[in-house]
């Protein structure tokens, strides 16, 4: 089950704000230079190659705590639905009209004072995500050709008050989604 994590354990969180601003500024200049060269060199690229390059440049990392219903995102490292239990702090956000891996269809807060057991967690997911899936997609989870999973609090984030579960859908064959599935009745 994927878990959310704060960014406090990431190397970027250990960099001071002024160092981050300097790094961002340097990165911006480098990116502009690369894009200038890239525009010239992309003239000889196929349409597919140009689209792939545009998609790569348009990815935007977003903290998992700021995901909203209707947000589409990718799995940059292959960790989200692997069942590894690896903590995830950020995901690459995508325009839902561009190829993407996942789409958020519901958010809810877990109940109880203690982090739920696996059985309690599954019960709360079934009670909350299942009906929301049908409301969002237009077809019940059981009848749909799509699958669902969740991002949930880790033990560390639970202890800081995190109770939010992010319910998201995806194509079970791991094919990229190319549009929002809201109201698609698929």
Per-domain boundaries in the chain: 3-171
Range list of H helices, the chain: 17-42, 47-57, 118-137, 155-159
Whole-number Å distance between alpha carbons of 29 and 34: 9
When comparing pLDDT for 159 and 33, which is higher?
159
pLDDT value at residue 64: 86
Contact 6, 156 (CB under 8 A): yes
**Per-residue pLDDT tens for 106-140?**
999 999 999 999 999 999 999 999 999 999 999 99
- Show contacts of 119-127: CB within 8 Å, 24+ apart: 121/1, 121/152, 124/165, 125/150, 125/165, 125/167
Both structure tokens of 95: 């325009």
Collapsed DSSP state (helix, strand, coil) of residue 120: helix
* Range in 4-18, 27-41, 111-125, 147-161 with the lowest mean pLDDT: 4-18
Query: What pLDDT is recorded for position 186?
Result: 85
More confident residue, 39 or 79: 79
At 17 the pLDDT is 25
Across the chain, mean pLDDT equals 74
Least confident of 31-45, 46-60, 103-117, 163-177: 31-45
The pair of structure tokens assigned to 139 is 């077809």
DSSP strand pairing (90-94 vs 87-88): unpaired
Contact 169, 102 (CB under 8 A): yes
For the segment 22-28, the average pLDDT, to the nearest whole number, is 35
Question: Is the per-residue pLDDT at 184 higher than 70?
Answer: yes
């Amino acid at each position: 089950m994927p878990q959310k994590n704060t960014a406090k354990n990431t190397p970027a969180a250990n960099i001071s704000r002024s160092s981050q601003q300097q790094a961002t500024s340097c990165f911006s200049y480098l990116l502009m230079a690369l894009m200038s060269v890239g525009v010239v060199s992309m003239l000889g690229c196929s349409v597919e190659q140009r689209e792939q390059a545009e998609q790569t440049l348009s990815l935007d990392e977003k903290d998992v705590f700021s995901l909203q219903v209707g947000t589409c995102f990718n799995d940059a490292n292959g960790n989200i639905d692997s069942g590894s239990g690896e903590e995830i702090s950020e995901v690459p956000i995508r325009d839902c009209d561009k190829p993407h891996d996942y789409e958020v269809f519901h958010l809810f807060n877990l109940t109880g004072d203690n982090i739920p057991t696996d059985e309690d967690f599954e019960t709360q997911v079934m009670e909350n995500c299942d009906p929301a899936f049908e409301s969002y997609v237009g077809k019940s989870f059981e009848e749909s050709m799509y699958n669902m999973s969740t991002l949930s609090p880790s033990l560390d984030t639970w202890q800081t008050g995190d109770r939010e579960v992010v319910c998201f859908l995806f194509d079970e064959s791991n094919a990229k989604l190319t549009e929002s599935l809201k109201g698609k009745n698929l």
